[in-house]
Amino acid sequence: MNTDGFRLAVKKRADSLINYFLIGFFLTGLILAIFYGTWLIAFGVGGLCLAAYYLCKIGLPNSNLYQYILSMVLGIFMAQYIYQMHGMFEMHFFAFIGSAILITYQNWKLQIPMMLVVVIHHATLSYLQNSGIDKIYFSQTDFDLQTFIIHTLLAAVIFFICGLWAYQLKKYSEKYIHQSMQVGLLQKEALIHLERKQNAEALEKAYEKAEKARLEAELANQAKSVFLATMSHEIRTPMNGVIGMSSLLAETSLSDQQRDYTNTITTCGESLLNVINDILDFSKIESGNMELEQEDFNLRICIEDVLDIFGTKAAGLGLDLVYHIDNNVPLQIVGDDLRLRQVLTNLVSNAMKFTQKGEVFVGVHVVKSDESENLKLQIEVRDTGIGIPPDKLNRLFKAFSQVDTSTTRKYGGTGLGLAISEKLVKLMKGEVHVESMVGQGSTFSFTIKTAVGKKVLTAYTHYDMADLQGKKILVIDDNMTNLAILKSQLELWKLIPVLADSAEVGLDILSKDIQIDLVLTDMQMPFMDGIELAQNVRKQYPSLPVILLSSVGEDCKDHSHLFNSILNKPVRQHVLSKNILEALHPQNNSLAVEKNIQQKLPGTFSEKFPLEILVAEDNLINQKVILHILHKLGYKPVLVENGAKAVEKAGQEQYDIILMDMQMPEMDGIQATRLIRESLEWQPTIIALTANTMQGDQEECLNAGMNDYISKPVKLEELTNKLEKWSLAKKESLNVVAS
Ligand code: ADP
């Protein structure tokens, strides 16, 4: 309670007390009237006093004036009683009763009005009585000056003491309130302190809990990684059998139906593998285990390789798959080639999946470059497909989310591709951005921070086009993007492109301008296709060279005589330059029809790249797969089923290559490699053949002294590439020794 509140309480209590006292005073008047019949005085003066008090109290509710009126009223009651009792001396004591009653308001000033009334009353009435005026009834004893003075002094003392008391009481109360408030504050503080202490304890407990949860989560994460590594290994091992065997099956002579079945097995196997890889990648990135390489690589090769994967599919769908790298983009950059390919593959694969007609375009631009050769590149993948509704755009990069989530959805997929891509791009210090219009297409673009590469790489094949400067090339294509790209490419080689968006326009240009040196035409065009155009050109300008850009799978072999060369789209830049060179230098003119379907396992492979191969593999199915593949390639591999035997065999004979499984009974691949490296004089090339593909596995192999690494399921191309690489390396080292 504060001071104001306390005063209010005092006032209320005093007011209600006064109500009783006033009634008592009024009734006392009536009782006294009985003695001398002073009824009029009792009712008149008593009634007026009560009326004055209550009128003031009710009329001025916010003022304390009524208390001062009360003080006077109590004095008047005393005078009334003295009169009623004809000057009876004891009636004077009512002044003291009134004075005592007033203490209850705890206000010393209230003593003053009553004191004034008493003084005035005593002075006038004693004077009047002593003057001999009749019926004054002031005092029954002699009330001379001396009595008056003593009387007044004693009254003053009483009024003073009562006033002092009221004052002290007020002070004491205020002090008490102040102390109470202090105590209240202290109590509050103590409470807050207690609360704080409890909060701190709760916080500490929560922290302990969180720490425990974090440790548990870390353990769970580790367990998850181990689980994923094990699962990956366990799934990859049988998958190696499925994919390997179906690849081998595809190499045998099959009926159409059997080939169809085999292809289905291969495709399903590969897509299952993709799903596993996606999940593994995702969890690797999630757990922060993904580290990116910082090596020099050629951006053009990277993009061309990715587009190569989709060439056949684009042809099948009738889509134009084109790319353009701005001229100011440095081609050799530093970064993780493989991961960039992964992002690009994913975006291009999505673009192809969600585009029925039109084109898929990949473009590279410089966003920022500085003197210290730091670079920010933007790579965009634009399609003319179904597009994405604006409200779905923000969900795209969430794991496992797809725009169409209905069970009847048309397009398959795990919904992980974009989530992985975004995370990889973040690791490359870039951002992904998407723009899309439903029905018009989407553009996924991402930036990467990189630097201009300085190392000497195996050069990207460059042909010297300087001799051809100023030659006019007629480019015929109905796809505008393609035309624009070819134009900028030809201009870069200082050739003069002349563009035509249809075969008819092309022929028209030829009829007007006989200075054209070469025709570069697309195959698929409305009204007149590339073949018909070439037939016309041959008829009218028999010596004019024509190069056809065809999609993979378009059967142009019967018409190959019409063209100097037939190139598969998307054309690699060096292939295009080589063919233009050949076409414009007839002495080199060899018809360069690119083989559309290459046999993946040519039996002559071992003649070109002779190798003695030892295979260390314990799993029966995997043994079968790898031996079959190697036999198909024309090799005669030797098989051992564990590491110990591999060491023994390698000591007895000189193998060029050991294909070494990692997990084997008795002695694993790592241990076997270490022993071979430590104990043998003749050192073979050791290639790990393993289903462990988690981060660190590759390093472990290389640290143990292995030269290379092939992950299971074995891809035929990867295996042949590695065999080729190490065979060439062997040849080179022999040459060095010989010279
Ligand atoms: P998924 O493996 O399902 O393709 P992604 O993460 O790669 O997973 O893609 C998620 C979803 O984003 C797709 O299912 C599709 O709905 C939408 N999407 C991605 N790219 C495109 C695109 N180029 N055009 C239209 N929709 C796309």
Residues 544, 550, 552, CA angle at the centre, nearest 5°?
150
Report residue 460's pLDDT band, with 50, 70 and 90 as the boundaries: low
CA distance 733 to 534: 49
pLDDT at 598 over 50: no
Ligand 1 neighbourhood includes 413 CB (under 6 angstroms): yes
- Does residue 126 contact residue 138 with C-beta atoms inside 8 Å? yes
Ligand 1 neighbourhood includes 676 CB (under 6 angstroms): no
pTM, whole model, 2 decimals? 0.53
Dump pLDDT digits (tens) for 262-316: 887 887 888 788 778 777 777 777 777 777 888 889 998 889 888 888 877 887 7
- Residue closest to 281 by CA, chosen among 341, 353, 215, 350: 341
How many whole angstroms from 335 Cα to the centroid of ligand 1? 26
Q: Could you count the other beta carbons within 10 Å of the beta carbon of residue 24?
A: 12
Mean pLDDT in residue range 503-515: 85
- Does residue 218 contact residue 288 with C-beta atoms inside 8 Å? no
- Does residue 128 contact residue 138 with C-beta atoms inside 8 Å? yes
696: left (phi > 0), else alpha (psi -120 to 50), else beta? Answer: left
Look at ligand 1, atom 11, and give the residue with the nearest C-alpha. 402
- Does residue 660 contact residue 688 with C-beta atoms inside 8 Å? yes
Dump pLDDT digits (tens) for 350-371: 999 999 888 999 999 999 888 7
Dump pLDDT digits (tens) for 44-57: 999 999 999 999 99
Ligand 1 neighbourhood includes 291 CB (under 6 angstroms): no
- Ligand 1, atom nearest to 411 Cα: 14
Ligand 1 neighbourhood includes 418 CB (under 6 angstroms): yes
How many whole angstroms from 415 Cα to the centroid of ligand 1? 7
pLDDT of residue 550: 80
Most confident of 406-410, 613-617, 677-681: 613-617
Mean pLDDT in residue range 210-225: 87
pLDDT of residue 215: 92
Ligand 1 neighbourhood includes 545 CB (under 6 angstroms): no
- Residue closest to 415 by CA, chosen among 228, 275, 235, 269: 275
Tell me if the bond preceding 570 is cis, omega within 30° of 0: yes
pLDDT at 458 over 60: no
Dump pLDDT digits (tens) for 102-142: 999 999 999 999 999 988 998 898 888 888 888 888 887 77
Dump pLDDT digits (tens) for 672-729: 999 998 888 888 999 988 777 665 677 788 888 888 888 877 877 788 888 888 888 8
pLDDT at 655 over 70: yes
How many whole angstroms from 271 Cα to the centroid of ligand 1? 16
Mean pLDDT in residue range 401-422: 69
How many whole angstroms from 692 Cα to the centroid of ligand 1? 29
- Does residue 72 contact residue 117 with C-beta atoms inside 8 Å? yes
How many whole angstroms from 358 Cα to the centroid of ligand 1? 18
- Ligand 1, atom nearest to 404 Cα: 16
pLDDT at 79 over 70: yes
Ligand 1 neighbourhood includes 414 CB (under 6 angstroms): yes
pLDDT at 530 over 70: yes
- Ligand 1, atom nearest to 381 Cα: 23
% of residues, the chain, pLDDT over 70: 91
pLDDT of residue 198: 94
pLDDT of residue 112: 93
pLDDT of residue 402: 66
Which residues lie below 8 Å from residue 307, measured CB to CB, with a gap of 6+?
321, 323, 348, 362, 570
How many whole angstroms from 414 Cα to the centroid of ligand 1? 9
- Residue closest to 650 by CA, chosen among 603, 606, 705: 705
298 — phi, psi (to 5°)? -95, 120
CA distance 324 to 447: 16
How many whole angstroms from 301 Cα to the centroid of ligand 1? 26
Mean pLDDT in residue range 144-156: 83
Report residue 513's pLDDT band, with 50, 70 and 90 as the boundaries: low
pLDDT at 32 over 50: yes
Provide the residue type at 544 as one letter: L
How many whole angstroms from 402 Cα to the centroid of ligand 1? 6
Q: Which helix (H) or strand (E) holds 254?
A: none
**Calculated CA dihedral for residues 690, 692, 694, 699, nearest 10 degrees:** -50
pLDDT of residue 591: 37
pLDDT of residue 557: 67
pLDDT at 494 over 60: yes
pLDDT at 593 over 70: no
Ligand 1 neighbourhood includes 388 CB (under 6 angstroms): yes
Query: Checking DSSP bridges between strand 359-369 and strand 565-569, what pairing results, if any?
Result: unpaired
CA distance 253 to 323: 38
Look at ligand 1, atom 7, and give the residue with the nearest C-alpha. 417
394: left (phi > 0), else alpha (psi -120 to 50), else beta? Answer: alpha
**Calculated CA dihedral for residues 411, 414, 417, 419, nearest 10 degrees:** 120
Dump pLDDT digits (tens) for 432-443: 999 999 999 999
Taking all residues of the chain, what is their mean pLDDT, rounded to a whole number? 85
pLDDT at 378 over 90: yes
Give SS3 for 471.
Answer: coil
